[in-house]
Amino acid sequence: MKRVGILGGTFNPPHLGHLIMANEAFHAVGLDEVRFMPNFIAPHKEVSGAGAKERLAMTALAVEDTPYFCVEDFEIRQGGVSYSFDTISKLREKEPDSEFYFIIGGDTVEGLNTWHRIDELAAMIRFIGIKRPGYSHISPYPVQMIDSPEIHLSSTMIRSRASAGGTIRFLVPEKVGAYIRKERLYGSEHDASESEETRS
């Protein structure tokens, strides 16, 4: 049975915090791979900034140098609002020999009861929760909590910096930063990291 971790999100943009979460889950649980799955439209948040095509491209760039990371584009191809129950149901049909693990942040653990068809979803997959300070991590559903280095990064903060012309170097993978500059995403034609990278 193949053990597949799923890290879903808008990835707007993907950043080093996402990679660290996935890496910690991979090693702590003994997964065979972790798939980064961008939402087309997330049910719990509005997406602004990069479109689905750009977010998928950035996610692919973020994971391409790690052999046990890959991109799952199912929700992008499906279009519409992304519900985890629907996605996992389809993936299990397609891959009956895979066991799926959903990787979530500690802040999400407490809100699992609000997820669409959560009782049925919890019977189909296992949850891996990343511990975060300030959260109880208490849930009526079984969640395997794991430790992870504290990385205070958010895509919102990165978008804000990029739009203001600030540096996002060391916050996102270098290839992602280059893509953001090339495509002029988040309202910025240039950020300080360009000059930092070319300075002799």
Which ranges of the chain would DSSP assign to H, the alpha helix?
16-29, 52-63, 74-78, 84-94, 106-109, 118-124, 155-163, 174-183, 192-198
Question: How much is the pLDDT for 69?
Answer: 99
Of 184, 147, 140, 131, nearest to 162 by C-alpha is: 184
pTM of the predicted model, to two decimals?
A: 0.89
Structural domain boundaries of the chain? Answer: 2-152
CATH hierarchy code of domain 2-152: 3.40.50.620
Tell me what the pLDDT averaged over the chain comes to: 90
The answer to whether residue 195 scores a pLDDT higher than 80 is no
**DSSP letter assigned to residue 153:** -
pLDDT at 41 over 90: no
Q: Is 99 strand, coil or helix? A: strand
pLDDT value at 74 more than 90: yes
pLDDT tens per residue, range 117-127: 999 999 999 99
**Given 3-state DSSP classes, what are the helix, strand and coil percentages for the chain, each rounded to the nearest 5?**
40, 20, 40
The 10 Å CB-count burial string (b at 16+, else e) for 25-49 is: bbeebebebbbbbbbbebeeeeeeb
Give the span between the Cα atoms of 113 and 107, in whole angstroms: 13
- Please determine, for residue 187, whether its predicted confidence score (pLDDT) is greater than 90: no
Distance of CA 199 to the CA centre of its chain: 32
Asked if pLDDT for residue 150 goes beyond 80, the answer is yes
Given a contact cutoff of 8 angstroms between Cβ atoms, the answer to whether 109 and 83 are in contact is: no
Residue-level pLDDT at 27: 98
In this prediction, residue 200 carries a pLDDT of 35
The per-residue pLDDT for 45 is 55
Instruction: Count H helices and E strands in the chain, helices first.
Output: 9, 6
Give pLDDT tens digits for 42-68.
665 555 679 999 999 999 999 999 999
| pLDDT of amino acid 47 | 53
By percentage, how much of the chain surpasses pLDDT 90? 79
Instruction: Please report the pLDDT score of residue 196 as a whole number.
Output: 43
